[in-house]
Chains A and B, each alone.
Chain A
Amino acid sequence: DTEVTQTPKHLVMGMTNKKSLKCEQHMGHRAMYWYKQKAKKPPELMFVYSYEKLSINESVPSRFSPECPNSSLLNLHLHALQPEDSALYLCASSQVPGPAYGYTFGSGTRLTVV
């Protein structure tokens, strides 16, 4: 298995809703990442988990809450989002923490906040 699987593929939520994005990989990768991407722009780093511990938080608002239950799973809990949070949310993983060997990205969750 050489994939990063993200669910759901599309999500529409109201500003008062609570929802979660899920990411899964079975490649034995020990680092996992959340990125946010606006249309035609490069991905922006949000969080990094290294050996299941949060190692980088890029000053992301607390309405985004990451969770890494085990080495294969990464969740992003969403609460009280704003319309400007609408974007493609990408999960990625790497064999070891750090960019030296490249990342494997999932297909993303297209989030629309109404």
Chain B
Amino acid sequence: TQLLEQSPQFLSIQEGENLTVYCNSSSVFSSLQWYRQEPGEGPVLLVTVVTGGEVKKLKRLTFQFGDARKDSSLHITAAQPGDTGLYLCAGDGGATNKLIFGTGTLLAVQP
């Protein structure tokens, strides 16, 4: 069974701080996605990483895919209250043809 564990589970920080969210598995994934879900809304796709070691930047967000394609990280620089939400990593389940969601990280950025 493919599992994706995220850490931390909860994170409450002040505006302007930096943070990193981790997504780890013992399984290899052909690609990995990150979604952000705001309260009362559906998840929104932020990025897809497909190559081991790949780094992608989206404004203040930096995403990295591990060399072995078993883990990923999301780093946010100078967090803002608008970054508040549930962050979900999700992996391509390969032969199952399913999207495997991580356990989620709930981020609260206080003004």
**Interface set of A (CB-CB < 8 Å, partner B):** 4, 40-43, 45, 48, 55-56, 90, 92, 97-108, 110
Contact = CB atoms under 8 A, between A and B. Distances in A.
A80 B86 CA distance: 31
B31 interface: yes
A99 B104 CA distance: 18
B42 A42 contact: no
Interface in B19-55: 30-31, 33, 35, 40-45, 48
B41 A108 contact: yes
A101 B104 contact: no
18 contacts: A40-B86, A42-B88, A42-B101, A42-B104, A43-B43, A48-B97, A55-B97, A56-B97, A90-B43, A97-B97, A99-B33, A99-B90, A99-B92, A99-B97, A103-B45, A105-B35, A105-B43, A106-B42
Contacts of B93: 99
Interface in B69-97: 86, 88, 90-93, 97
Contacts, number: 58
Interface size class of B (residues with CB under 8 A): 20 to 34
Contacts of A48: 97-98
A45 B99 contact: yes
Interface of B: 30-31, 33, 35, 40-45, 48, 86, 88, 90-93, 97-99, 101-104, 106
A40 B106 contact: yes
Nearest to A33: B99
A12 B48 CA distance: 36
A105 B42 contact: yes
B45 to A, nearest CB: 4
A41 B104 CA distance: 7
B42 A92 contact: yes
B45 A102 contact: yes
Contact of A107 (B42, B99, B106): B42
Contacts of A40: 86, 104, 106
A55 B96 CA distance: 11
